[in-house]
């Protein structure tokens, strides 16, 4: 989406994983025949497709695959992220992680 800030990860990664799933659907679906892939939330679906992609790659090829997966989309310049944005997003991530851990701990008691 132009000028709406959706060109940074994980959007290019998700787009590429959905493209791989579309192009290789028969193989991906057969690998996970015991579950209905379409019923999973997008992040779980992408994780399964990613797992399918890297399951047979050696370390060197996996590193290249990961690099290619996170590269800017064709025709888009690399996004420059300010240190302040990195800090803010890192703090938000840690807050969600802490909240998730607290909820998990509460569920165990």
Domain ranges of the chain: 1-78, 80-109
From residue 71, alpha-carbon distances to 16, 68, 97, 108, 109 in Å are 10, 5, 26, 40, 43
pLDDT band (50, 70, 90) for residue 28: very high
- Contact residues for 8 (Cβ-Cβ < 8 A; gap 6+): 79, 81
Span 1-10, pLDDT tens digits: 444 454 555 7
- Its pTM stands at 0.63
């Amino acid at each position: 989406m132009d000028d709406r800030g959706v060109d940074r990860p994980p959007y290019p990664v998700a787009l590429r994983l959905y493209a791989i799933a579309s192009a290789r659907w028969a193989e991906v679906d057969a690998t996970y025949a015991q579950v209905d892939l379409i019923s999973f939330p997008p992040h779980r679906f992408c994780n399964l497709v990613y797992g399918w992609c890297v399951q047979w790659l050696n370390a060197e090829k996996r590193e290249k695959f990961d690099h290619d997966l996170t590269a800017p989309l064709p025709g888009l310049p690399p996004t420059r992220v300010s240190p302040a944005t990195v800090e803010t997003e890192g703090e938000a991530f840690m807050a969600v992680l802490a909240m998730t851990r607290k909820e998990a701990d509460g569920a165990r008691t």
